[in-house]
Amino acid sequence: MADSGSEAIAVIGNTDLTPSESENNLKNTMVEKGTSLLKKMEISVAEAEKRTGKNAVNMQETYTVYLIETRPVDAASEGTNPALDSLWRRYSEFELLRNYLLVTYPFAVVPPLPEKRAEFVWHKLSADNMDPDFVERRRVGLENFLLRVASHPVLSSDKIFYLFLTEENGWKETMFETGFQAKADSRLKALNATFRVKNPDKRFAEMKHYGDELQSVISQLLRVRARAADRLYGVYKVHGNYGRVFSEWSAIEKEMGDGLQSAGHHMDAYAASVDDILEEEEHYADQLKEYLFYADALRTVCRKHELTQYELEMAVQDLTSKKQQREELATGTIRTFSLKGMTSKLFGQETPEQREAKLKMLETQIEEGEEQVKERNAECDEFVKSAWVDIERFKEQKDHDLRESLISYAIMQISMCKKGIQVWNNAKECFNKM
């Protein structure tokens, strides 16, 4: 999980962490403070609030807004405490920002937003977007998104992003002025089109395949985990019945009464402990979900590469065919089948003037074509270069973060076991007094 510098500890709220583990949590990001926005400002999504208002079709709707707080870093480190700047944003605005980033930086693996709707829920969790637990987890996810963007070597210097954080009004207008909307539409169309690339960069093909696998396996893991969480909840809660029955039984016993009664209390405590345990596990699930969505961002970049490569190949193909046409025209031989060629065969040759004109046109087209190929080649190279840099950065980040997630999962399990040991030892003492 990304970190906001000296502020919040990572989301894993385990109070049983050893000091070294805590410290590790603080450092568990790939923040390159030297190059990113985070060097200059602290960012957090501090609160969430419900609002009601009229929407685009003039209907009443209830929605949630999130408070973004920023503060320049330097001033804070000098000991003075400058006022926090803050503004409210709703989820749809975050979505707009992300779309803008996707279009403007197609080579970047753009950090994902927390899920729009609650998925992979197990029965106790509400799938309702208004549910306070869901809102809280979304708040954390949105903060994480901002921190990730702010620590990205390229994205963090984007002006629109800066405005998103600092200008409550006028941000959207400035963004639309960049004209990204037009690009967005064509990008969407292109990405959804099917086309075959002849010479894709192998690395990107592999990355795309990896993205597919990652998405599939994390989905499966989240599903299985949710079902297991559901069942574990059941196991713990049924123990609460012991509490009730022991209590009732203790009422009819003389010597056994006390032991039974107190054992019953421990059974109640055991049953209640599962709520905290599973809430912590949700944080782990959120960390997995982030990478589930990251996999999609990764695949998008690979797809974009295919698109640029395809366009290059199309340009090359076009150029080649034009050159061939010129040759045929010049030498008079028809090697390629063309309607023009057939009709001229059938209805007679063209006049020398007509041929001259055509040749001239072709020359121009070939010149243009060569320009285009050069451009597209450069585009392709450029894209491959910057995309691969970001993919490598992403890989390192992913390896690091997921490893930390696994460690925090282990820590959670240890905490759960320790609680279990404590409860059952207590219960045993009570049983001994029976």
Near other proteins by CB under 8 A: residue from 33, 51, 360, 428? 428
H/E element holding 385? helix 352-432
Per CB under 8 A, which region of 19-27, 29-37, 108-116, 192-200 contacts other proteins? 19-27
Near other proteins by CB under 8 A: residue from 46, 182, 188, 224? 224
Question: Reduced to 3 states, what is the DSSP secondary structure of residue 188?
Answer: helix
Near other proteins by CB under 8 A: residue from 210, 296, 344, 359? 210
| 232 touches other proteins (CB under 8 A) | yes
Q: How far apart are CA 219 and CA 213, in angstroms?
A: 10
The answer for residues whose C-beta is within 8 angstroms of residue 342's C-beta and 6 or more apart is none
| 234 touches other proteins (CB under 8 A) | yes
Shorter beta-carbon distance to other proteins: residue 75 or 224: 224
Q: How far apart are CA 129 and CA 126, in angstroms?
A: 8
| 239 touches other proteins (CB under 8 A) | yes
Shorter beta-carbon distance to other proteins: residue 25 or 309: 25
- 93-112 binders of other proteins (CB under 8 A): none
> Which amino acid belongs to residue 166?
T
Near other proteins by CB under 8 A: residue from 228, 330, 342, 378? 228
Q: How far apart are CA 183 and CA 103, in angstroms?
A: 7
Binding mask 245-284 for other proteins (x = CB under 8 A): x--xx--x--xx--x---x---------------------
The answer for residues whose C-beta is within 8 angstroms of residue 199's C-beta and 6 or more apart is 309, 313
Q: How far apart are CA 222 and CA 237, in angstroms?
A: 22
Binding mask 286-315 for other proteins (x = CB under 8 A): ------------------------------
Shorter beta-carbon distance to other proteins: residue 361 or 410: 410
Shorter beta-carbon distance to other proteins: residue 127 or 421: 421
Cα dihedral 230→235→238→239 (10° resolution): -140
| 231 touches other proteins (CB under 8 A) | yes
- 27-46 binders of other proteins (CB under 8 A): 27
Burial bucket for residue 16 (CB in 10 Å: 0-12, 13-18, 19+): exposed
Q: How far apart are CA 248 and CA 243, in angstroms?
A: 9
Shorter beta-carbon distance to other proteins: residue 323 or 419: 419
Q: How far apart are CA 410 and CA 416, in angstroms?
A: 10
As measured in angstroms, the least distance from the Cβ of 413 to other proteins is 5
CA angle, residues 268, 270, 271, in degrees to nearest 5: 65
Shorter beta-carbon distance to other proteins: residue 245 or 357: 245
The values of phi and psi at residue 254, to 5°, are -90, -65
As measured in angstroms, the least distance from the Cβ of 431 to other proteins is 4
Please give the structure tokens belonging to residue 50.
């419900």
As measured in angstroms, the least distance from the Cβ of 414 to other proteins is 5
- 40-79 binders of other proteins (CB under 8 A): none
Please give the structure tokens belonging to residue 139.
């708040």
| 406 touches other proteins (CB under 8 A) | yes
| 205 touches other proteins (CB under 8 A) | no
Q: How far apart are CA 96 and CA 83, in angstroms?
A: 28
As measured in angstroms, the least distance from the Cβ of 298 to other proteins is 12
Question: Reduced to 3 states, what is the DSSP secondary structure of residue 415?
Answer: helix
H/E element holding 312? helix 257-331
CB-side exposure of 217: number of CA atoms within 13 Å? 8
| 206 touches other proteins (CB under 8 A) | no
Q: How far apart are CA 306 and CA 417, in angstroms?
A: 49
Binding site for other proteins (CB under 8 A): 20, 24, 27, 210, 213-214, 217-218, 220-221, 224-225, 227-228, 230-232, 234-235, 238-239, 241-242, 245, 248-249, 252, 255-256, 259, 263, 398-400, 402-403, 406-407, 409-411, 413-414, 417-418, 420-421, 424-425, 427-428, 431-432, 434
